[in-house]
A = this chain, B = another copy of it.
Amino acid sequence: MGRRSDHTREQLRALLIAEGHKLLAEQGLGKFSGREVAKRAGYTVGTIYNVFGSLDRLVAAINSHTFLLWADFLRERLAAGGDDRIKSLVEGYFDFALAHPNLWSAIYDHRLVDADELSETDYSQRAALTAIVEDEVRAVLTDPTMPGADRFARSLIATVHGHCSYVVSGTFALLEEPDPVGSALARVRECLAAQK
């Protein structure tokens, strides 16, 4: 009631994102509820609109946070994995999505009305993941200064994304694909080989 000294603005922001993140992971975007997030954080609906302006922006912030975790996850996989770093990346992409299907799906299911729903912070948090892959792809190219190497890298991300998307949505299960990760990796290798 009234202003709470329990949390600073930043702490409150972080708290709502954290609780929202948990709820999203548990229930998925479909059953995500602003009221429930507020309740779990010990506040009420209105506070979310105070802090984030709209529910959409809270979800955007939660998704950006997921990107951070995802990037960390990939970095760990790269560090722990062997010499085949491309393999580590592809498998890491899938493993994260399969470990947190609701969080992963929310990233792509959440349609932003405007591009300006995304803050500067959102942008940079999301770019980190792309940057990791770009570095690794460039390291594997015979000519790392190849023009359009970054575009090529993102095209490979899209390739893996498509396979992963089919797994999470159940499409591949329907088609009885036994090894989607292997397929994705095979495609990536073929495309990489073609650049040499």
Question: Which chain A residues have a beta carbon within 8 Å of chain B's beta carbons?
Answer: 28, 30, 105, 108-109, 111-112, 115, 123, 126, 130, 151-152, 154-163, 165-166, 169-170, 172-175, 177, 180, 183-184, 186-187, 190-191, 193-194
Contact = CB atoms under 8 A, between A and B. Distances in A.
Contacts of A186: 155
Contacts of A130: 175
Contact of A193 (B151, B172, B173, B194): B194
Given A108-B165, A158-B166, A159-B162, 7 more contacts: A30-B111, A112-B170, A123-B174, A155-B187, A159-B163, A161-B166, A191-B191
Nearest to A101: B111
Nearest to A102: B111
Interface SS of chain A:
helix
A174 B108 CA distance: 14
B109 A109 contact: yes
A184 B158 contact: yes
A63 to B, nearest CB: 11
11 contacts: A28-B111, A108-B169, A151-B177, A155-B183, A156-B187, A158-B165, A158-B184, A159-B162, A160-B162, A165-B165, A187-B191
A93 to B, nearest CB: 11
A67 to B, nearest CB: 11
A161 B165 contact: yes
B105 A111 contact: yes
